[in-house]
Amino acid sequence: MKRYPFGKFILDIPDDHRIIEIHRSNILYDRAYGCIIEEIARACPDGVFIDIGANIGDTAAFLATYSANPILCVEGSPTYAAYLRANLRHFSGQVRLIEKFLRTKSLARLKLGYEEGTGSGGLISSNNSSGPSIADEQFIDTVGLLKEASSLGSVSLVKTDTDGFDGYIVTDLLSAVDAPIFFECDTLVTIPDVPSPWPEVYEMLERNGYSIVIFDNHGLPMLLADRASASILRDLSGYIHLQRTVHPVRIHYLDVWAFPPSWIAVYERISSSLRSDFLKPFRF
């Protein structure tokens, strides 16, 4: 076990966790989101932040650095949930933990397994796993999760980073919450014999009038759009796939902050801040 700083907290992490290596080569990874968290918290200071795929509590630490909002973490991995449970001592009751995996509507009938990597893990189809399927009682569905969150207050942010399942989760969330959603958009990780959720996600974002802020996987802001465009999102996804055919690969996935129309004022303050602090030197 090691100790490592995230925001204003120093957390317990596994010896082989990749976050230290990632931060060494990407100084803004996770660290450029402070102004976004502050603006969301300012708009809804009592709102609940949901952290799906919470790992050892690193995202929760950044959320708690820039806000006093209650944070509800969801982590099904026994390994990472144990670290997160131990790290709860730092958060003075601000962070709560649900030790389960999230089950989405579109995958409700699929048997799922779990594989752990270095510093992360992910659900996979149990047909492609050497281990047993995850028992039903180890899951919580989206409806159940939002019900748990409602006992703490209204939802004002949902973050999801589940290494390949985020598109299915976002599809559920876009139909269920009126709050910003922060998600990893990794179109390279797929489930065999299951249609990709991303085309539907892109269409829903555009159809429902979301504003978006897109970061690359190194923590740098790439694109700010007052209204999401499905075609632009498809083009960016195509760029990421194209890299695989003409090395080197510079960007592996996108990190997307999506704001519904009711949050347009918050998006505008965030976009102004990002343009001023990060993009202004290169704007003409």
Show the domains of the chain with their CATH numbers: 2-282 (3.40.50.150)
What mean pLDDT do residues 212-238 have? Answer: 96
Interatomic CA distance for residues 155 and 131, integer angstroms: 35
- Residue in this structure with the two tokens 């290494």, named with its chain if needed: 163
pLDDT tens figures, 102-135 = 999 988 888 887 777 666 777 777 665 556 788 8
How many residues appear in the chain?
Answer: 284
pLDDT bucket at 280, cuts 50 / 70 / 90 = confident
Q: If you average pLDDT over every residue of the chain, what do you get? A: 92
Distance of CA 58 to the CA centre of its chain: 12
pLDDT bucket at 226, cuts 50 / 70 / 90 = very high
What mean pLDDT do residues 43-65 have? Answer: 97
Interatomic CA distance for residues 113 and 132, integer angstroms: 6
pLDDT value of residue 30: 85
Interatomic CA distance for residues 165 and 138, integer angstroms: 16
Burial 25-40 (b: 16+ CB within 10 A, else e): eeeebbebbbbbbbbb
Q: Which two tokens stand for residue 94?
A: 């601000």
Contact 59, 161 (CB under 8 A): yes
Check pLDDT > 60 for residue 259: yes
Output 279 or 242, whichever has higher pLDDT. 242
> What sign results for the dihedral spanned by CA atoms 62, 64, 65, 66?
positive
Give residues with Cβ within 8 angstroms of 109, minimum separation 6. none
pTM: 0.94
The angle that helices 142-150 and 166-174 make with each other, rounded to 10 degrees, is: 60
C-alpha distance from residue 175 to each of 45, 139, 203, 204, 242 (Å)? 23, 20, 13, 9, 31
Check pLDDT > 90 for residue 69: yes
Percent of the chain as helix, strand, coil, to the nearest 5? 40, 25, 35
Say what percent of the chain tops pLDDT 90: 75
Query: Is residue 134 classed as helix, strand or coil in its secondary structure?
Result: coil
Quote the strand ranges of 95-168, DSSP E: 95-98, 101-103, 112-116, 121-125, 139-141, 155-160
Output 280 or 267, whichever has higher pLDDT. 267
Output 124 or 44, whichever has higher pLDDT. 44
Check pLDDT > 80 for residue 166: yes
Check pLDDT > 60 for residue 283: no
Most trustworthy range by pLDDT among 15-29, 42-56, 103-117: 42-56
What mean pLDDT do residues 40-58 have? Answer: 97
Check pLDDT > 70 for residue 26: yes
pLDDT value of residue 37: 98
